[in-house]
Amino acid sequence: MLALLVLISFWSLFANSWARGLRQSSYTNTPLIYPQALAVLGAAQLVLDLCARTIRLWLDLPAEQPLAKEEADA
């Protein structure tokens, strides 16, 4: 739930910067949507990863797949 709130807050920052055309206050004058878009993508990936883990736990599957090296050793 916390990850979803982080995603929503990053999305609102991104949408606000997009609508207002905000730019960085340094000599580069970079639009703020570029770094904020990366934050939105990272938060979305976190939410999707947590959803996938939750589904795997509900189905009584391991939380992560073992690596190929671990399978060969076992």
Tens digit of each residue's pLDDT (9 = 90 or more) over 15-54 = 999 999 989 888 888 898 999 999 999 999 999 999 999 9
| Dist. CA 72–CA 69, nearest whole Å | 5
Mean pLDDT of all residues in 53-70: 81
pLDDT of residue 74: 56
The closest alpha carbon to 1, from 50, 60, 52, belongs to 50
pTM metric for this prediction: 0.73
pLDDT of residue 51: 92
| Dist. CA 34–CA 26, nearest whole Å | 15
pLDDT of residue 25: 84
Residues in the chain: 74
* Cα–Cα distance list, 65 to 25, 52, 53 (Å): 45, 12, 11
Q: Compute φ and ψ for 31, nearest 5 degrees.
A: -65, 135
